[in-house]
Amino acid sequence: LFITHDLHLAAAYCDRVYVMYAGRVVEERTAGDLFERPRHPYTRGLLACSPTLGEDHREIRPIPGKPPSLADAFAG
């Protein structure tokens, strides 16, 4: 188990990557598939925030939408 917000670091150490959002797993893929075809908006947002080598400046793009309230009870 390796917990991080850095998906590139997770891919370096893990074969499978699970992305959690608001306490739930929203995506589970092989590391390669996750980078090639991210499905969930939060995963795409995390990848868009990751700097690349040699990059001096990049505009930060917020993840669209509104996060769920964690004060509300979840079903289950």
pTM over 0.85: no
Q: What is the DSSP string of 3-53?
A: --S-HHHHHHH-SEEEEEETTEEEEEEEHHHHHHS--SHHHHHHHHH---T
Q: How confident is the model at residue 75 (pLDDT cuts 50, 70, 90)?
A: low
Q: Which has more pLDDT, 60 or 44?
A: 44
User: What is the structure's pLDDT at 33?
Assistant: 93
